[in-house]
Structure 1
Amino acid sequence: MLCAKYYEIRRFNGLIQKLVLQVSGEPPQEPVISKKSGHIYEKRLIEKYIADYGKDPVSGEEINEGDLLEVKASPKTVKPRPPTLTSIPSLLAVFQNEWDSLMLETYTLKQQYQQVRQELSHALYQHDAACRVIARLLKERDAAREALANVQAHINIQPPPDTATTDHPMETEEEAKGINDAVIEKLNETSKVLSKERKKRKAQPGLTPVDTVKRYTQLNVIGSLHSTSSPGIACLDLDQTEELVLTGGNDKKVLIYNRQEAKEVCVLKGHTKKITDVSWLGRPEGDQGDVAFSSSVDKTVKVWKPNEKGYQIASTITSHSSEVTGIAVHATKDYLVSVSNDSTWAFHDIATSQTLAKIESKDVKDGYSTVEFHPDGLILGTGTNDSVVRIWDVKSQQNVASFPNHTGRVTSISFSENGYYLATASEDNLVKLWDLRKLSNFQTLTVDTDAKVNKVVWDYSGHYLAIGGTDVRIYHSKTWNELSVISENMAEITDMKFGELAKYLLVGGLDRSLRTYGIEQLE
């Protein structure tokens, strides 16, 4: 009886297993296929069934484990959810667990985010502190360099050369050779040639007529030159080709700008204080370009020579003990004159890098403010801070004439190309015209009471005189009528240059811009 019961239970269990295989619908985790019936089973279940009954649960045929083949499924089947998820409470429990897991992960991410944020804040603080330290060190370095330059200037020691400086520095006052007979002979020969050419010179054909000058307007503006830290163009010069403009700024830099290509050619660095005057030599060095000069409040004059990479410092003049306020190139293109607030003017030989003479007068006590050579090159005009214009004989270095009629610091002087007239401007807002043959003031031009006059310049023909300061004014030298007043500038005008045949006027000012005034676009 018991045996019958046992076999009945085993048979019942077998039927249940067979039912699970047939109707469960769940994909097998380890599928196998029967070679005889072709049915797919769960491996662990069919092996147990074969062990108990030795038959195929579907066809009833005899079968053993060797008749089973494994089925390789890729990807593997996903296990179905357990039966516990069939009720609402079990689903809620699963959702709660997943929510808790999500919140834990979010909390961990927030912690990591806060840690990264603190690390970034600390890094930014360190970077800012490092920048402040670097800025302070740079400021201390510049101050030390400036102090060293001042000491060297006072004891007449040549400063260490810049990276591009040549081995031929200018000589100091003690090494001055003097303006000897050979120099004087060269000055005389140049003067004779220029005087002869001037007497034979006829009126320039194509000179811009008066009616056209009256219609001068602003043609173009080149802005944002030099830096904004110490803004402003303090001085400028135009080379022989009228393509390259040399500008000196309050930012201690000298800049070369190509007007035709509308781009900066190079920036010349070497001065430690603002630039006071710049000038081209006017004699190109081969195919590379012209030699340039610059003077500065740092008491030096620098000579810049072109090379394949741009420009480099060729030599530095340190013959003055105070700020150099002006420079002028002689007509021979062999000599350079500089004036300073130390009440001296110096004559330098460009080719040999020597200071030939340094002249000091007991009548000049407050220093010089500006300088210019006469077109013939035998006399020199200087303006002073004590409102006197002085004329010097270059050969003898004697003061041969003085014009004391101004009441303010002389800001600019300019000789007319014919050599007969001298225009002078000062802080008394007056421009005076002097006849050098009679040594007399024959005309005075008065601008507005609250206006400033910083620069006077003749055109090459001597027909037009431009006055720059608060605005730009152009006068006709025959009648002294005011032809044009132009006031597009945003700040004071500091320097000007006429183009060939007075077709345009190039103007620089404290608004960091170069402006061109004329009547037609330049090619």
Structure 2
Amino acid sequence: MFCALSGEPPQEPVVCKKSGQIFEKRLIEKYISDYGKDPTNGEDITEEDLLEIKASPKTVKPRPATLTSIPSLLAVFQNEWDSLMLETFTLKQQYQQVRQELSHALYQHDAACRVIARLMKERDAAREALTNVQAHINVQPPPESTVTETPMEVEEEMKGINETVIEKLNETSKTLSQGRKKRKAPPGLTSVDTVKTFTQMTVIGSLHSTSSPGITCLDLDQTGELVLTGGNDKKALIYNRKEAKEVCSLKGHTKKITDVLWLGKPEENNNNQDIAFTSSADKTIKIWKPNETGKKGYKAVSNIISHSSEVTGIALHATKQYLVSVSNDSTWAFHDITTSQTLSKIESKEVKTGYSTVEFHPDGLILGTGTNDSVVRIWDVKSQQNVASFDNHTGRITSIAFSENGYYLATASEENLVKLWDLRKLSNFQTLVVDTDSKVNKVVWDFSGQYLAVGGTDVRIYHSKTWNELVNISENMAEITDMKFGELAKYLLVGGLDRSLRIYGYHSQ
């Protein structure tokens, strides 16, 4: 029994009363609705002329030859489609299951990372605490350098700047003054035309940690090879320019480093390695010495505690025996490096908001300080008296620098200008104005006193004879915080909050 239209066994067979032919019900009904005739003889028929055949058992559809007719093709495509949909549904189920497992694994990974980070933080804190304890154990701070609740008692306990110290200061000043009067511009000093061509030569990036990024201060040793940097990450680093690598990390402070210095007097019995100083917002000053011969790195040998607030700056006296520190507690202190003792601590009634920076005059007999209330003060070191004040700035004093000839003082504040003072006349003879939106964080002279570098939003170098701006370099990605000229002003070393050391110079070097 086959359908007269499809030639296939019908699933729902019907017979036409007029022609007697057997059809598939759904096919003949469609044909009648379209044409209204019997497909075999062309007679007019209706659905009422169809008679349903009740077969028992129902007709079993034989398996057709594959791809031999349109119906068989459609059936194959239908089967393939159904199989594809079933496989897709199964894959989606597996995909959802894998996503759930991956999400669970990622959650476990994140939890593990948080635990590891917390443990590493605790480990670093324990190491810093251990370093502090070791520093205190190695050299106990003397009673004179400990802050007590009664300032007057501190003054009485301190030895003061006695005659022996004053004699050393006078001898050093006399020697330096005589040599300075005869000194001329050194041969080989970089010319003005060459400085005008300064560009960025080298970038040393990724110094200090990313958690508290930024270089806050730097110093260059006598050889020009070792760079000492302090950072917001509570560490100081020593970087070897010649070997292009970090030599060691000085850990021990518990807050950001505010200033760093090399002593400038390498020890012959220790591979000519120099002594380093660091000051911090944790109220302390640390003295670092190289480890014993055969061991790499530095160790903290002294921990000077003489201030009750953040130590904002330190300055080294020309004798290489004394150190001065200033603090937000509105005091400055005079320390003996050899004994790590605080000889004198000076508090002025006129300073209420704290000191922000400090610098020794080249002769070593006067001291310059900047305050948070816009005033630059000049002090007589021997008498610890304020002998002059310059109050023409606005905002916190960010930097001061004495020229090597001892005649001029450059000062900068939070406003966008630098003032030049003649110390012989105690007057402001020149003002350098930078862009309105620019900042000035640091001023520094080269050793000859011919060039003045101004750093902040960018770096500018001025010629001290004409005060013309020789070059303006703005390759930095963040604010400049500190700078140092190289030998004969052949290059300028710059550090900033972008965690990079940059060297500006000329291509022929």
TM range (shorter): 0.7 to 0.9
Following superposition, the deviation at residue 172 of structure 1 comes to 2.0
Q: Distance in 1 between matches of 2:384 and 2:133?
A: 31
Q: Distance in 1 between matches of 2:438 and 2:132?
A: 43
Following superposition, the deviation at residue 166 of structure 1 comes to 2.2
1:166 equivalent in alignment to 2:148: no
Q: What does residue 288 of structure 2 align with?
A: 304
- Counterpart of 2:464 (choices 449, 467, 477) is 477
Q: What does residue 271 of structure 1 align with?
A: 253
Q: CA distance change for structure 1 residues 143 and 266 in 2, over 3 Å: closer, same or farther?
A: closer
Following superposition, the deviation at residue 482 of structure 1 comes to 0.6
- Counterpart of 1:221 (choices 187, 192, 203) is 203
Q: CA distance change for structure 1 residues 142 and 245 in 2, over 3 Å: closer, same or farther?
A: closer
Q: CA distance change for structure 1 residues 160 and 477 in 2, over 3 Å: closer, same or farther?
A: closer
Q: Distance in 1 between matches of 2:390 and 2:472?
A: 28
Following superposition, the deviation at residue 427 of structure 1 comes to 0.5
Q: What does residue 372 of structure 1 align with?
A: 359
Q: What does residue 63 of structure 2 align with?
A: none
Could you tell me which amino acid in structure 1 is paired with residue 461 of structure 2? I
CA contact (8 A) 2:395 2:414 kept: yes
Q: Distance in 1 between matches of 2:470 and 2:113?
A: 54
**Which string of whole-angstrom CA distances, capped at 9 and with x for unpartnered residues, describes residues 322-363 of structure 1?**
111000110000001110000000110000110101111010
Q: Distance in 1 between matches of 2:303 and 2:123?
A: 21
CA contact (8 A) 1:168 1:353 kept: no
1:250 equivalent in alignment to 2:221: no
Following superposition, the deviation at residue 169 of structure 1 comes to 2.8
Q: How many residues align?
A: 398
* Structure 2, unpaired ranges of 5+: 1-96, 148-153
For residues 119-138 of structure 1, what are the structure 2 equivalents within 5 Å? 129=111, 131-133=113-115, 135-136=117-118
For residues 43-122 of structure 1, what are the structure 2 equivalents within 5 Å? none
Following superposition, the deviation at residue 429 of structure 1 comes to 1.1
Following superposition, the deviation at residue 202 of structure 1 comes to 1.9
Q: Distance in 2 between matches of 1:358 and 1:145?
A: 32
Q: What does residue 315 of structure 2 align with?
A: 328
Q: Secondary structure, in 3 states, of the residue corresponding to 2:253? A: coil
CA contact (8 A) 1:165 1:312 kept: no
Instruction: Using structure 2 for the length normalisation, give the TM-score.
Output: 0.74
1:233 equivalent in alignment to 2:215: yes
Q: Distance in 2 between matches of 1:331 and 1:418?
A: 14
Q: CA distance change for structure 1 residues 241 and 521 in 2, over 3 Å: closer, same or farther?
A: farther
- Structure with higher Rg: it is 1
Could you tell me which amino acid in structure 1 is paired with residue 500 of structure 2? S
Could you tell me which amino acid in structure 2 is paired with residue 457 of structure 1? V
Q: Secondary structure, in 3 states, of the residue corresponding to 2:165? A: helix
Following superposition, the deviation at residue 167 of structure 1 comes to 2.5
Q: Which moved more, 1:360-369 or 1:195-204?
A: 195-204
Q: What does residue 499 of structure 2 align with?
A: 512
- Counterpart of 1:420 (choices 407, 414, 422) is 407
CA contact (8 A) 2:132 2:252 kept: no
Q: Secondary structure, in 3 states, of the residue corresponding to 2:224? A: coil
Following superposition, the deviation at residue 520 of structure 1 comes to 3.5
For residues 169-208 of structure 1, what are the structure 2 equivalents within 5 Å? 169=141, 171-173=145-147, 174=154, 175-208=157-190
Q: Distance in 1 between matches of 2:138 and 2:321?
A: 18
Q: Distance in 1 between matches of 2:111 and 2:508?
A: 51
Following superposition, the deviation at residue 132 of structure 1 comes to 3.4
Q: Distance in 1 between matches of 2:488 and 2:121?
A: 47
RMSD over aligned Cα atoms = 2.7
Could you tell me which amino acid in structure 2 is paired with residue 304 of structure 1? W
Identity of aligned residues (%): 81
Could you tell me which amino acid in structure 1 is paired with residue 378 of structure 2? I
For residues 440-459 of structure 1, what are the structure 2 equivalents within 5 Å? 440-459=427-446
Could you tell me which amino acid in structure 2 is paired with residue 300 of structure 1? T
* Structure 1, unpaired ranges of 5+: 1-113, 150-158
Q: Distance in 2 between matches of 1:493 and 1:347?
A: 29
Q: Distance in 1 between matches of 2:382 and 2:135?
A: 36
Following superposition, the deviation at residue 317 of structure 1 comes to 1.2
Q: What does residue 409 of structure 1 align with?
A: 396
Q: Distance in 2 between matches of 1:451 and 1:121?
A: 48
